[in-house]
Amino acid sequence: MAGLLAAGLLIAALTTDASSVVAPPAAPAAPTGPTLPLGHVGRWMTDTDGRVVVLHGLNQVYKVPPYEPSADGFGDDDAAFLQASGFNAMRLGVIWAAVEPQPLTYDDNYLASIAQTVATLAAHGIVSLLDFHQDLYNEAFQGEGAPAWAVQSAGLPNPQLGFPGNYFANPAEEHAWHAFWRDAPAPDGIGLQDHYTRAWAHVASAFRGNPGVFGYEVLNEPWPGFIWEGCFNPVLGCPLQDHKLTEFYRKVVPAIRAADPTTLVFFEPNTLFDEGIHTDLGHIVDPSTGFSFHDYCAIEAVLHKNITCRFEDGLTITNASLYADFNHVPPLLTEFGATNDLNNLAEVMRHTDRHRMGWLEWAYTGNDKTSSSPNDQALVFDPSQPPTGANVNAAKLGVLAAPYPQVIAGTPRDWSFRSGVFRLGYSTERADRAGRFAPGAQTFISVPPVEYPNGYHVSVTGGQAVSAPNAPVLTVVADAGAATVDVVVTP
């Protein structure tokens, strides 16, 4: 979902009292990338060598039939462009209606198409997050997500108010969410949540053992339904809905885990979290989960002015960091942006750097039917054409392709990028606290040519750079006996 939901929230506040279907890809991780698959230690995502991994990337979600990420032309040239720009992750939309078009009938050809996109990205060192995506629940409400047989509107009025208006003022859609949260029986008598859980288990079984998939995201932007007004409270939050959401995740996550014992499973708070509302989500007991969340600034979406966004974005990201630290899970910002406001993008990125977390920006391309900026949101305007020249939003790329540590042989202390200067400080102590990394353990830092077209200079204290001069991925190793390493990159 893109920023128009934030606009709707502001306006509302002012006006309302299976078996595997494909073999894992053969392509190994890039030599300058993490060793796969990814896992986590506390709040840190880690590779199989125990190094901390930071992800930067974008979203690719195709919201109309056939719902395949490649349907708009996204392919190998796009993956190569992303790699050359320093990105190492993508969030790919998987639509429930395409997975389970009829009750308990699963479309493995659809999953094979998703797997092909995963393999295309993996061949360029990019790992994928599979996101069960929805906006406005279903096409009946001008969105996408649930299959038609899973829509229960009770004959209530269905005004076509678009996105995000249907969320706030469409009784039929509100009832559809109400039915989902109470696990109402589908036409075959099986509960809607039970169907959803089985569909996820089928998908997880299909992608089990696929190193190109670093995680599964259970549900995009869970909407509270009728009780949304009671959730729009920065003090009280939304404990009733968050309890329902916790119980939902406690149903779905174990089913995914039974089908796939190792892949990270990410879960989101309710949709209003991205407006600075804290979450009352409970703890999800599983050894491999992560907390994913979104951040959209309502003022920017409504007025296209970056007035209060620094505070609002900072509050949302701080709330996410607090939840992740308390529950010992890695945080990941899986949506922000949907704008050409480059200052807002840069502010969000500074917040995530400060909290030492990764992000996936919305979105790679445009033509989005549920967005406040269907075309402004795009980095590449038409994926069916080469990602070069006027087909690329060069100004946005210049912001998003900022240097960052992709893999850290130690525990990061801090990193930042301002005015062309990148800084990274880290301890050589392992994130699992099982000693220190050996001096030859490699840290990889993305320094793409788009940021340093004339090359760069690097200074390392406590270690040394061992990559070729001006390499797009800077490789650093610690000196023998060094407890900390500090890296500074300048033009």
For the stretch 460-490, pLDDT in tens is 999 999 999 999 999 999 999 999 999 999 9
Cα 423 from Cα 85, distance rounded (Å): 19
For residue 49, what pLDDT band results from cuts at 50, 70 and 90?
very high
| 363 to 91, 122, 258, 282: CA distances (angstroms) | 9, 19, 32, 30
Look at residue 233 in the predicted model and tell me its pLDDT.
84
Q: Which amino acid is at 111?
A: L
Give the span between the Cα atoms of 298 and 338, in whole angstroms.
Answer: 12
Query: What token pair was written down for 227?
Result: 């009780």
Rounded mean pLDDT, 175-192: 99
Give the number of C-alpha atoms closer than 13 A to the C-alpha of residue 175, restricted to the C-beta side: 12
Residue 429 pLDDT level (bands cut at 50, 70, 90)? very high
Helix (H) or strand (E) holding 309: helix 309-327
Question: pLDDT tens digits, residue range 243-298?
Answer: 999 999 999 999 999 999 999 999 999 999 998 999 999 999 999 999 999 999 87
CA–CA dist 305, 297 (Å, integer): 10
Tokens of 402: 């900022």
305 band by pLDDT with thresholds 50, 70 and 90: low
Could you identify the residue written with the tokens 């750097």?
353
Work out the percent of the chain whose per-residue pLDDT is above 70: 92
| H helices present in 85-161, as ranges | 96-99, 108-122
Identity at 343, one-letter amino acid code: N
- Residue for token pair 């308990």: 104
pLDDT digits (tens, 9 = 90+) for 82-119: 999 999 999 999 999 999 999 999 999 999 999 999 99
Pick 411-490's CATH classification: 2.60.40.1180, 3.40.50.300, 2.120.10.30, 1.20.1050.10: 2.60.40.1180
Determine the average pLDDT of the residues in 348-358.
99
C-alpha 344: how far from its chain's center?
Answer: 18
**What interhelical angle do 192-207 and 171-181 show, nearest 10?**
70
Tell whether the model's pLDDT for residue 6 goes beyond 70.
no
Extents of the domains making up the chain: 4-32+55-401, 411-490
pLDDT score, position 247: 98
Per-residue pLDDT, 11: 38
* DSSP helix/strand/coil, 266: strand
**Residue that the structure tokens 């053969």 belong to:** 26
In 3D space, the residue among 164, 162, 173 whose CA is nearest the CA of residue 137 turns out to be 173
Q: How does DSSP classify residue 236?
A: T
Half-sphere CA count of 231, side-chain side, radius 13 A: 29
Mean pLDDT of 45-59: 99
Six token digits for residue 438: 């050996």
Type of residue at 140: A
Whether the per-residue pLDDT at 18 is higher than 70: the answer is no
Q: Does the structure show a pLDDT above 90 at 4?
A: no
CA dist 420 → 146, 290, 347, 372, 413 (Å): 45, 31, 15, 31, 20
**pLDDT tens for each residue of 205-252:** 999 999 999 999 999 999 999 999 888 888 889 999 999 999 999 999
Q: Which of 307, 490, 484, 313 is nearest to 413 (CA)?
A: 484
For residue 67, the one-letter residue type is Y
What homologous superfamily does CATH list for 4-32+55-401?
Answer: Glycosidases (3.20.20.80)
What are the structure tokens assigned to 336, written together?
A: 């922000």
Decide: helix, strand or coil at residue 271. Answer: helix
Q: Which two tokens stand for residue 319?
A: 């709330």
Place of tokens 């986590």: 40
pLDDT more than 90, % of the chain: 87
Residue 369 DSSP symbol: T
**What pLDDT is recorded for position 13?**
40
Instruction: Name the pLDDT band for 301 (thresholds 50, 70, 90).
Output: low
Question: Residues 6 or more apart from 422 whose CB is under 8 A from it?
Answer: 402, 403, 404, 415, 416, 445, 447, 487, 488, 489
Residue 350 pLDDT > 50 = yes
Token pair 């595997």 in the structure block, residue = 20
* Model pLDDT, residue 230: 87
What is the model's pLDDT at position 282? 97
Q: Hey, how many other C-beta atoms are within 10 angstroms of the C-beta on 440?
A: 10
